[in-house]
Amino acid sequence: MKKIFLAAAAALALTTGANAAEEVHIPKETWTFNGVLGHFDKQQIQRGFQVYKDVCANCHSLKYVAFRHLGALGYSEAQIRSLAATYQVDDGPNDEGDMFKRPGRASDHIPKPYANDALARAGNGGALPPDLSLITKAREGGPDYIYHLLIGYEDAPAGVEMSPGLNYNKYFPGHQIAMTKQITDGVVTYADGAPNDAAHVAKDVTAFLHWAAEPNLEARHATGLRVVLYALIFAVLAFFAKRRLWKDIPH
């Protein structure tokens, strides 16, 4: 029994050590949406949407975002209708019982790049590209992790054997990721002339993805501030009311 206990303890120690060795440190970034006064930079998230549309949407869906939601980014109704109409969406059945394609409407959700998961896997070497609607909330490290993942591609260090079809990324757990490097210098050109090196592009698309995951962040922050303000006012009023009521009562 003692030998079994020692063997189990040794195995646990080795496992703990291995996990500690694989732990990835994600540097902290400065975001406009951090903190109690955090807000989204609408120009930045518009640029980020462009990056998603031109680069990420080829593989990744955004199933919880409808075209009409883009009004929060500063797009006009006419711009949203025009953008939606550039997509073909499934609809039906028609009077003959058939499904059909039609131009998108503002009320439609952004179409997925693949009809189903099997097609998505077939087009990506067996890997299923995750939906990005909630990605900054679903991954430990949040926006910091997503940003550094996008710019974390490097040549594998000496002695590291890569599995076929995988790429080395210093911020991905295990460091071997199926997605190839997508964000590079000049991968998009911004109409507002903003910098389009890889670091800025990655930051813009990460900010957009965090908006997709938390579209009510600004309203939540504003509500929280009002609640705190009301609580402080109530506390002050309660303090003076207590003093007035008890000032002539011996105690």
Among residues of the chain, what percentage have pLDDT more than 70?
91
pTM (2 decimals)? 0.83
Distances (CA, A) of 172 to 86, 167, 218: 35, 10, 30
Helix (H) or strand (E) holding 102: strand 100-103
Q: Is 176 helix (H, G, I), strand (E, B) or coil?
A: strand
Tens of pLDDT along 232-247? 898 888 888 888 888 7
Tens of pLDDT along 57-85? 999 999 999 999 999 999 999 999 999 99
pLDDT at 15: 39
Tens of pLDDT along 159-188? 999 999 999 999 999 999 999 999 999 999
The structure tokens 């009023």 sit at 237
Largest separation between any pair of C-alpha atoms in the chain: 88
Distances (CA, A) of 37 to 31, 73, 136, 164: 11, 18, 19, 46
Mean per-residue pLDDT for 136-143?
96
Residue 251's pLDDT band (boundaries 50, 70, 90)? low
Contact 203, 147 (CB under 8 A): yes
Its sign, for the CA torsion 68, 74, 78, 82, is negative
pLDDT at 93: 87
* Angle, helix 198-213 to helix 142-151, in steps of 10 degrees: 150
Domain 40-65+110-156+171-215 has CATH 3.40.50.2300: no
Separation of alpha carbons 127 and 121, rounded Å: 5
Between 2 and 147, the more confident residue is: 147
Separation of alpha carbons 250 and 248, rounded Å: 6
Between 156 and 17, the more confident residue is: 156
pLDDT at 22: 62
Bridge partners (DSSP) listed for residue 176: 168
Q: Which of 20-24, 81-85, 189-193, 214-218 has the lowest mean pLDDT?
A: 20-24
Between 223 and 120, the more confident residue is: 120
Q: Taking all residues of the chain, what is their mean pLDDT, rounded to a whole number?
A: 88
Contact 70, 215 (CB under 8 A): no
